[in-house]
Structure 1
Amino acid sequence: MADKSTNNIELKVLVDRGSNKVIFIEPENDFLDVLFSFMTIPMGTIIRLARKHSDPVVIGCMNNLYTSVENIDEQKFWIDICKDMLLHPRNAADSHCNDLNLKLDDTEPRRYFLCPNLCKVLSYYCTYCPCSCLLIMNMEKSLSLRTSEDGSVFVKGQTSFTVTDDLQVIPPNSSASSVFTKLGLMDVDATEELTINIGTVEILNLLMCSLVSKTALTETLLKPQQDLKSRSTILNQAIHTESQMSGDSMNDEEDKISLNLVVSKSKKMVCYAEAGEDFVNLLFSFLTLPLGFIVKNMKNSSLKGCIRHLYQTIQDLDGQYMISDHHKKMLLDPKLVPGFCYYNSLLGIEETSYYYVGRTLTTDRSLCSSESDKLKVVGFCSMDLNAQGFLKRPAMFVVTDNLVVRPMSRIFELQVLTDLNVHVTDIEDQIVHVGKNEVLRLLLASFLCGSALTNTFVGDLSKPKQEQ
């Protein structure tokens, strides 16, 4: 149980003494809520938190994307806040996560303001209502959250779950014999029960380990001093995807982004790309995506860590153990925060919707009688981010295979070729068009490996060229 005065959670841990590994833990719901909340955290926040870790974890090319945003001059962005949106992305479930007993994200909670005339608009700060009334939107409301009687955030009631070393959550209705057999628990005398108190440091370690290790609890609870660098970089691998995004079949009407790839003919690899701001906007928007959205779309792609196990067990968990279907969907199909993100239809992720029902502000559609209760988010900034993107236009950038992004520079391009030991006589240009399927592959490649452009496009480059 959590000790709110010291921000600790107490865990009962069963350990195999011989191998010094965690067999399983029996946590209270406060720990499960924190564990499940991993799915709602945006990638940019995870990268920022990873830097606080004693041994920073490298997550594919995502670290390079984050550093690229830091290094690009603010003058390249439409407004200053665009850069902050990427470096400190907002969690659409932050109102729920603020009630967790252990919080990783230190971002200030959002505030919500309505028009006193109850126009169908919502703002995150006091501003003039855009409707004909022109009143100041100064009616502050808190987002209504459904919680269980004991104050749990996602998981309902005092339920005794079992969590394995690789973060599989076993519900209490599973038979003891099947659980013990599954865990290979043969010699009870070789086990030892421990009581371990964990805080935010251990929770951060658990999040990092879930991305790079199949024994996340052991690494977190029994070997916290072990160097993570040996397993920090997710190794290059082929990216296999089976798109789950709606309408992802290609058609002539689909808006595609044109990209010029500079390819090494002998090494059959993408050295770098010459890209406009539309492609870089898309890349940078990966930092705003919640972890659960990425894991959801991984499908058959493998990962060194066990975060996929956690997602799968939430998916398989009987609805009776969750506070509501809305809470479960919040974890399995997390959304973007309107006004804080660049929404691009190629990604296939939705924005959160807000509803005002019976003087209650909520994101739960099931509480509404009709779509007429839906509010429009207004007045966040002076330009339409969805129309413009994060960056000023027109602009050109160089994007390396591992997603280092720099403003257009021939000197930088030559430096990339030198670093890759590729001679200028060995390169050729290839024009590709990025649609929904390519975007999904690129997203997963940027999360899973260190050569995102090659993993995404090298198969397409081997096909015969078609006349344009």
Structure 2
Amino acid sequence: MSIELKALVDKANDRIIFAECDEDLADVLFSFLTMPIGTIVRLTNNRPPITAIGCMNNLYASVENLDVKRFRTEACKTMLLRPKNGSATQYKDLKLKIDSEIPKYFFCGKLKNDGETPEYLLGLQSDCIAYDWRKLDRIAYECKLLSQYVGSYCDCGNAMNSSAIVDTIGSKDSIDGTAFAKEFTRFVISDELQVMPSSAAASFSLISKLGIMDMSSTEERVFNIGYDEVLNLLKSLFVSKFPLTETFLRPKELPDFSKETFQASSIIKHQLIRENARQENVKICARLLLSKSKKRVCYAEVGDDFVDLLFSFLTIPLGFIMKEMNGAHSKGCINYLYKSIMDLDSEKYFKTNGHKEILLSPKIAPDFGYENQLLGVKEVAHQLCYQKQTYFNDVGWKIGISLDKPTSNTSIALRVKHPKSTYKSGKTGGGFVMGPAVFTVTDDLIVTPISQFSGLSVLNKLNIPFNDIEELNVHVGNEEASRLLVASFMSESALTETFLQKKIK
């Protein structure tokens, strides 16, 4: 699958002046804002050179390196390394996907006989074929629980390892064949990924902005956009001010994000100017080890609640971080894309006003929130699931489920088990890591279980003598959590930027 892009190229300077596209490519660009940071890190890590996104790569690597026993459940680690998209219902309608994971559901396999089906059918093996298919619909799934993660434990105590057959995937949620933009809309895209309604005024403005007076120095070119090009656009979103040019004309010249100098503290200061601050509730404590001479955080000793907050950053959609930045400029050109969506008329260019809101303030996927989550990000509710049929194939019993409500009165409603809850715990509001526990967190957010040797190693690496160290106890509330999120995204010294910049000034 590919999408066609027509562009006007400045031949003399080898750059794209602007491009024109329909709703298909606009949807792909818009969808970047719904992607969780953990997904972006995973996708960009697979395509060298690695794009460093503040401290987020270190957080992702910390989750990878942390023993699974440190997490509340095995699913918790998977949730952080492969976070689900809270806008999956819209994402599935994209014409071109770079993260096309198909939703999966698992069940424990405990079936209930209706009294009419012979008992031997419930224990059938793959080589048994002597049974009445007409009776299979009378075999119900007794526990009525599903899991989106293999290996979770059902309330009955059995592992949920049997995969369900998903008959439909929310087809009734699609008004038309697009994800966010209205059908038959056309857009002009600047080299900085500003998306504007297609008009002569928009194209003339972009031409004059570059000082081009003679159109003979330009030419029209058509590019076919596939998986590789979309992934390069995503990467260049964080590192380049000219992603179209560098994706289609100079694909081997993506700049190095880490070499660009940027004062993250100015972003954080701008971010604090808010009309409606979230109401303060719970505060998290952290003990910082500082260098007095360098005025920086060397490392911190924190509890599991602080680590839950840090790891949750991987589940946060890019658009939510842009919202928290409150209009401030960032590296790359993400702010241009975000602002252009703000400026587009909802009624003319989006399927509904709600679809525009999904992009400007995206939610996290179901079950990814937890109690006392300080960021204030909202969570999408689970789609309703229904058992339609029972199957038997070469690997054993399976149930067929639908994410659209069947018309049959015999359909059975199923619920999705919370992946963070253990067998029969009944607790669904916890975070990702097992507590109580203490961890060491470096300034660039490398998280490891507490060890005095790791602390000493950090001091040695930074060449900081013991007599230059002082301690500072800090508390993290809503404001600090938001600042820490933005600092983790923008800076490679997240703790210093969050807790010391105001103090130093």
Query: What range describes the TM-score normalised by the shorter chain of this pair?
Result: 0.7 to 0.9
CA distance in 1, matches of 2:104, 2:83: 12
SS of the counterpart of 2:192?
coil
Alignment of 1:65-464 (within 5 A): 65-110=59-104, 124=147, 142-144=169-171, 146-147=173-174, 149=176, 151-172=177-198, 175=201, 177-178=204-205, 180-182=207-209, 184-229=211-256, 235-238=262-265, 239-240=268-269, 241-242=271-272, 247-248=277-278, 250=280, 254-319=281-346, 320-342=348-370, 344-353=372-381, 378-380=417-419, 382-383=421-422, 387-462=429-504
CA distance in 2, matches of 1:106, 1:69: 23
Task: Give the count of matched residue pairs.
Answer: 429
Please tell me whether the aligned partners of residues 18 and 206 of structure 2 are also in contact (alpha carbons under 8 angstroms): no
- CA drift at 1:342: 3.9
Residues 227/314 of structure 1: CA separation in 2 closer, same or farther (3 Å cut): closer
Q: Give unmatched runs, 5+ long, in structure 1.
A: 1-6, 131-136, 363-374, 464-468
- CA drift at 1:350: 0.4
- CA drift at 1:20: 0.7
CA offsets, 1:364-409, max 9 Å, x none? xxxxxxxxxxx98645453467532111111100000000111101
CA distance in 1, matches of 2:384, 2:441: 43
Residues 377/460 of structure 1: CA separation in 2 closer, same or farther (3 Å cut): farther
CA distance in 2, matches of 1:39, 1:242: 22
Please tell me whether the aligned partners of residues 2 and 224 of structure 2 are also in contact (alpha carbons under 8 angstroms): yes
> What is the one-letter code of the residue matched to 1:396?
V
Residues 148/379 of structure 1: CA separation in 2 closer, same or farther (3 Å cut): closer
CA offsets, 1:112-143, max 9 Å, x none? 99xx99xxx9955699899xxxxxx9997632
Residues 415/129 of structure 1: CA separation in 2 closer, same or farther (3 Å cut): closer
Considering only CA atoms, is the larger Rg found in Structure 1 or Structure 2?
Answer: 2
CA distance in 2, matches of 1:128, 1:274: 36
Please tell me whether the aligned partners of residues 238 and 331 of structure 2 are also in contact (alpha carbons under 8 angstroms): yes
Q: Give unmatched runs, 5+ long, in structure 2.
A: 108-137, 157-163, 386-401, 405-413
- CA drift at 1:245: 9.1
> What is the one-letter code of the residue matched to 1:271?
C
CA distance in 2, matches of 1:324, 1:129: 40
> What is the one-letter code of the residue matched to 1:58?
A
SS of the counterpart of 2:470?
strand
SS of the counterpart of 1:388?
coil
Once the two structures are aligned, what percentage of the paired residues are identical? 44
CA distance in 1, matches of 2:334, 2:248: 17
> What is the one-letter code of the residue matched to 1:334?
P
SS of the counterpart of 1:350?
coil
CA distance in 1, matches of 2:461, 2:285: 26
Please tell me whether the aligned partners of residues 292 and 332 of structure 1 are also in contact (alpha carbons under 8 angstroms): yes
Please tell me whether the aligned partners of residues 288 and 471 of structure 2 are also in contact (alpha carbons under 8 angstroms): yes
> What is the one-letter code of the residue matched to 1:440?
S
- CA drift at 1:156: 0.7
> What is the one-letter code of the residue matched to 2:421?
S
User: Which residue of 1 is the match for residue 37 of structure 2?
Assistant: 43
Which of 37, 42, 47 in structure 2 is aligned with 1:53? Answer: 47
Residues 339/209 of structure 1: CA separation in 2 closer, same or farther (3 Å cut): same
Please tell me whether the aligned partners of residues 20 and 198 of structure 2 are also in contact (alpha carbons under 8 angstroms): no
CA distance in 1, matches of 2:484, 2:70: 24
Please tell me whether the aligned partners of residues 401 and 452 of structure 1 are also in contact (alpha carbons under 8 angstroms): yes
Q: Is 1:14 paired with 2:8?
A: yes
